[in-house]
Amino acid sequence: MRRPHDSTDRSTVARHAHLPSPSRLSVGLKLTGIALSVVLVSAIAVAGYLVADFANRIGDGAVVLEGAPTVAPPALGPYPADKSFDILVVGTDECGEISKQYLAERCEKVDDGIRNDVNLLVHVSAEPRNVTVVSFPRDLMVKVPSCTREDGSTAPSSPRVAFNSLFDRAGVSCIVKTVSELSGIPIGFAAKISFDGVIEITDAIGGVEVCVAGKGIRDSQAGINLPPGTHTVSGPDALAFIRTRHGVGDESDLARISNQQQYMSRLAKKILSAETLTDPAKVLRLATTVADNIVPSESLNNALTLTQLGLALKDVPFSDFVFVQFPNGADPADSDKVVPDEAAAEHLWQALIAGQPIALSGDVATNSGVELVTPAPTAPPVETATPTETPEVRTTLPPEISGQSVDQETCSNGRQSK
């Protein structure tokens, strides 16, 4: 166990015994999770006059984080330049009114628990700001501390618990506490999100352009058939794109995750673009959609705090906005689970704690899910006499950690399946 450094209503749930892995619902939630983290740190910042209404909309059911660090008090302007901050975004498999339309059969079957199938740690460094989004596998086996439930009872500590069972065990606060002890990073903010925002978010920004390479994507199980080239997907089509497993790479779950990262990166780029951020109506639609689908921590439930976080992030370059997968390996005790790669993870945590931008040495894809687009050659720039700049210091992560930055272009490694 690492020590931290200084620095609702219950909805219908799909029955897990009948869901493929990962389910359509959980895959959709991953998109919603990325969208939430991006919206919170960008769109809200450029629409300050909307923030008060946004905060009012998300105010119900705010969560108290057990043992959370003290965060900067709400104030006008950006978050303090000398302070980093962390937001844990949790996506649960609860069915809402929209998801019931697409998952009617599954949502009619009530399970005995709610799973946190999507878990994203959004780390934002002190200035100069950089952003790292760490995605934790739902089947990761972790050591869990004792946690206080909302009713005041205690969930005991355990040396081995599946990550996606933590919400049902003791709520969002327990997930935050577990990640904090795993990483050594104090987490001051959190938000739980539902599935229903996924379609509305993509529609609100006019869809997302994706790239398909290889033989194109054809997957009847996911309901998608895209020839090679670029395509703008939204709504149910976006859900099918991020759900496809048999249409990319080696048809594995790991290949699918890499394909999802392409979508997330392009979604983030579009939300952070001038096309979106200079359109108040579009920002309002994004903020409203997200607000209707999250339950925040009490620390996040404040208009000024939301503005602070957004202003701190609005100028982060795409090269310093990175998505990574938490490093893991096969679980010797259960072939359906994975366990932390502690050595590789330690490099990641130390880089985040140090506040340095990171460089990825691993592949952008796992199991050939996507391929990196090589930029077309351009004419060499004309040399001019300019002062020599001090090279930027970056921490290179070990090759066991895969991922991509928002400024990298990738394409799905498509395949044809029945």
Q: What digits encode the pLDDT tens for the residues 235-283?
A: 778 877 877 879 998 887 667 777 877 887 888 788 777 777 677 777 7
Task: Say what percent of the chain tops pLDDT 90.
Answer: 35
Q: Is residue 165 part of a domain?
A: yes
CB 221 within 8 A of CB 23: no
Range of the domain at 48: 12-199+252-362
- Residue 401: inside a domain: no
- Let me know if residue 381 belongs to a domain: no
Of 43-47, 82-86, 217-221, give the range with the top mean pLDDT. Answer: 82-86
Cα dihedral 303, 296, 290, 219 in deg (nearest 10): 160
* Cα–Cα nearest to 114, from 213, 26, 45: 26
Give pLDDT, residue 158: 98
Helix 342-354 with 166-183: angle, nearest 10 deg: 70
Q: What is the mean pLDDT of the chain?
A: 79
CA distance 388 to 40: 36
pLDDT(213) > 90:
yes
Task: Quote the pLDDT of residue 92.
Answer: 80
The pLDDT-based confidence of 53 (bands split at 50, 70, 90) is low
Instruction: Pick the more confident residue, 380 or 223.
Output: 223
**Are the CB atoms for 69 and 188 separated by under 8 Å?**
yes
Between the CA of residue 393 and those of 4, 83, 351, 357, what are the distances in Å? 24, 19, 11, 7
- Domains of the chain: total: 1
- pLDDT tens profile 132-151: 999 898 889 999 999 999 89
What digits encode the pLDDT tens for the residues 54-75? 556 655 678 999 998 999 988 8
Using CA atoms, how far apart are residues 45 and 241, in angstroms rounded to an integer?
Answer: 30
Give a yes or no: residue 122 inside a domain.
yes
Is residue 22, in this structure, part of any structural domain at all? yes
pLDDT value of position 217: 95
Q: Kindly compute the dihedral angle of the four CA atoms of residues 302, 123, 68, 197, in this order, to the nearest 10 degrees.
A: 50
213 within domain boundaries: no
| Residue 204 placed within a domain | no
Total residue count of the chain as it appears in this document: 418
**Cβ atoms < 10 Å from Cβ of 112:** 8
Would you say the C-alpha torsion 399, 400, 404, 410 has a positive or negative sign? positive
State the pTM of this model: 0.80
Residue 232, beta-bridge partner list:
209
- Whether omega before 296 lies within 30 degrees of 0, making that bond cis, reads no
Specify the CATH number for the domain of residue 273: 3.40.630.190
Lowest mean pLDDT among 84-88, 192-196, 245-249: 192-196
Q: Are 348 and 366 in contact (CB under 8 A)?
A: no
Which is more confident, 291 or 391? 291
**Cα distances (angstroms) measured from residue 358 to each of 182, 227, 315, 327, 396:** 20, 35, 17, 15, 6
Note whether residue 37 is domain-resident. Answer: yes
Q: Please, which pLDDT band fits residue 404 given cuts at 50, 70 and 90?
A: confident
Q: Which positions ≥6 away from 274 have C-beta within 8 Å?
A: none
